[in-house]
Amino acid sequence: MTEALGEAVDVMDRLWNFGGWEVTQTHDSLRPYLLEETYELLDAIQAGDGETIREELGDLLLQVLFHSRIAEAAGEFTVAEVAAALVAKLTHRSPHLIDNGIDPAAALADKIAAQEAAWEERKTAEKSRRSCLDGIAMAQPALALAEKVRSRSAKAGLPDELIPEDLRVIHLGGADSAEERLRKATLAFAAAIRIAEDTAESERGERRALAPGEWLRYWPGS
């Protein structure tokens, strides 16, 4: 396995050192390819086609190698540093990999709950996030974005009654596409969440999680 990955890195280096099309690319110019390969992998997963899943995962690996090679040429980081960062993240957020913090004999549901709790706790400590929405990729498709924002806000204790109708029901037709309307509604909802968090911090003099009643109190326009 390690040998095959090393060969993949070597092929990417050889392509780059040839000095052709590859060296003209940037992180930004590769975005359409990354998006296309991701959707092709999703199609393969939906079809349950193992052989095609393997092929599409290889195409995604190429994107990782390509972006890493661009970064290496710019003196930013190497693919080895990408891998090292992943190893460090996984081991730090998964303490059961290096200690006995989770009982191996525990029920599956208990193991999963302990893993999720440890992951979220350590991720929060790493990122020092100011908002419950920090870290969400805002450029993702509107439906996925709306689901992520709703999930994060629910975990943060935001009452269900504050979720706008446009994030509960998708309306088709109209001047704007359903995708665009949902994106606008989600971004507006996200902005309101951040305003409530900032208002609470300003009044309380510190940044801390909001209780359900505090969300209602500090919600814009309340």
Give ∠ CA 190-169-129 in degrees, rounded to 5. 20
Measure the CA–CA gap between 115 and 118, rounded to whole angstroms: 5
pLDDT, tens only, 106-139: 788 877 777 777 777 776 666 667 899 998 989 8
Give the residue-averaged pLDDT of 205-219: 93
CB 136 within 8 A of CB 152: yes
Task: Rank 89-93, 101-105, 125-129 by mean pLDDT and report only the highest.
Answer: 89-93
Residue 99 main-chain phi, psi, to 5 deg: -145, -175
Say what the pLDDT of residue 145 is.
Answer: 94
Burial label, 57 (beta-carbon count in 10 A; 0-12, 13-18, 19+): middle
Burial label, 186 (beta-carbon count in 10 A; 0-12, 13-18, 19+): buried
pLDDT at 94 exceeding the cut of 90 = no
pLDDT at 60 exceeding the cut of 90 = yes
Residue percentage of the chain with pLDDT more than 90: 67
**pLDDT greater at residue 125 or residue 74:** 74
**pLDDT greater at residue 85 or residue 110:** 85
pLDDT at 101 exceeding the cut of 90 = no
Measure the CA–CA gap between 57 and 36, rounded to whole angstroms: 12
pLDDT, tens only, 29-49: 999 899 899 999 999 999 999
Give the residue-averaged pLDDT of 178-192: 95
CB 34 within 8 A of CB 25: no
What global pTM score does this model have?
Answer: 0.67
